[in-house]
Structure 1
Amino acid sequence: MKLLKYLAFAAAFLVLQGCAFTKATLDVKPSPDVHVAGPLGDVKSIAFNNPQLLDSRADKARIGWKKNGFGQNTADIVSKQPVEDIVETAVAKALTDSRHTVGDNGAIQVVGTVDRFWFDLDVNMWTVKFVGDVQCTLDFIDAQTKQSIYKSKYSGNYSDEKAAGLEKTWTMVLNKAVDKLIEMIVLDEELAAALTKRSTQQVSQASGE
């Protein structure tokens, strides 16, 4: 009896996915109406260069797999924009939401790598767990001296459990994972301290102390 119920769920899950053998393209981006306050916003306004990230993922062909009701991979899930562009936008939003500026000829360069950008489906007996995981490494570099000010890894994770879900749900989960990544940057006390220390040193040097 339990097996029949599971088979029924698996069949329903397959139907609710649409075509499980057709590539899905997700339009992932930070949520424009989500703004996080944190230590980064307490730092005196700084001009940053546009973030420049490289995709360092081992698997660059996809950001996830479509799966059938038995958990078997059936088709690629990809992003509409390159993952490095998505994360660059997220990093820039973390900075501008914190009252800093981002553009050309900034005082601080932001470089790094996208280490993970993945959407997963965990098919259970009666529900499906949708998981988004975004990870990057950022290095904040003084544009004049070319010395690293601060380097750290950041991650954004989000999961949701439902009876089923289509591409709209998948996109929402990854969007929220990107929002969590932004939150981790804004809340990084050590980053805020490093930037404040640099600003203090510059003021001291300018005054001849």
Structure 2
Amino acid sequence: MLRKSLIAMLIIVPVLSGCAMMTATTPITYQPMKNMALVPGARNVVVHVEVKNKKKHKRIGSKKNGFGMSMASIYAKEPISKTIKIALQRELVARGFRTASDAPVIVNAVVKEFHSTFHVGMFEGEAVAKLNMVVAVTNKGGREIFSKDIMSTGKTSAMIASGSNAGIAMDRALHAGIKTLFEDRAFTQALLTAGKEGQ
């Protein structure tokens, strides 16, 4: 049994360690939710989306060798703030809201954590991404109407601790976080309320 485990480890280590010394850049591709219904009254609300990235590090993760040791850094192809801003704008438009840079209604997102970590298993590894951001809605006068602390995760099996696998996990974490936000009726109601106050 010990011999079989050792052989398995000798096989998986080179696979997981491929190109571990080279930094990687990966796109984070947000997949919009499908068949979203228009929110009654949304067409009368114009929203400005702001996203600030307060992550401590520019990297979104690190490659690992077969022994679980962190190796080269992994970076996002586009700024995290830009990716999340586009995701929020897409979902707003899909529900009938309009977006503009000088809009009276502001959706402000602050990203506190967004990264992917590889976990090495005996036969198969896993990439696990975590997203933590605070999203607030304010009216034209700056009054906060809504605030939500969002935490979500995304996972994918990963035989190779690569940038692309880290990106897949982060795609899923972002989708889960945005879904959590837009499924909260208090969020859309806050947008409608702020829109009326700005008229």
Q: Is the 8 A contact 1:62 1:77 kept in 2?
A: yes
Q: Which residue of 1 aligns with 2:53?
A: 55
How has the CA–CA distance of structure 1 residues 113 and 91 changed in structure 2, closer, same or farther, with 3 Å as cutoff?
Answer: same
Alignment of 1:9-158 (within 5 A): 9-15=12-18, 19-31=19-31, 34-35=33-34, 37=36, 41-45=38-42, 46-49=45-48, 51-57=49-55, 59-143=56-140, 145-158=141-154
1:6 to 9, 14, 18: 9
Q: TM-score, normalised on structure 2?
A: 0.86
**Structure 2 unaligned regions, length at least 5:** none
**Deviations along 1:30-62, whole A, 9 cap, x unmatched?**
125x43637xx535212101x2222212x2231
Taking only aligned residues, the RMSD between alpha carbons, in angstroms, comes to 2.3
Would the alpha carbon gap of residues 196 and 154 (structure 1) be closer, same or farther in structure 2, given more than 3 Å must change?
A: same
Note if contact 1:160-1:173 (Cα within 8 Å) is conserved in structure 2: yes
Distance 1:198 1:104, change over 3 A: closer
Q: Quick one: structure 1 residues 111 and 202, their matched pair in 2 at CA, closer, same or farther if it must change by over 3 Å?
A: closer
The total of aligned residue pairs comes to 194
TM-score norm. by structure 1 comes to 0.82
User: Deviation at 1:9?
Assistant: 1.3
Check whether the contact 1:116–1:133 (CA below 8 A) recurs between aligned residues: yes
Gaps of 5+ in 1: none
The verdict on how the C-alpha distance between 1:156 and 1:98 changes in structure 2, with shifts beyond 3 A counting, is: farther
Deviation at 1:127, TM superposition (A): 0.5
Structure 1 Cα separation of the partners of residues 162 and 70 of structure 2: 16
Letter matched to residue 31 of structure 1: Q
Partners of 1:158 and 1:180 within 8 A in 2: yes
Counterparts of 1:182 and 1:93 in 2: how far apart (Å)?
11
Q: Distance in 2 between matches of 1:184 and 1:169?
A: 23
More deviation, 91-100/68-77: 91-100
Do 2:105 and 2:191's aligned partners in 1 also have CA atoms closer than 8 Å? no
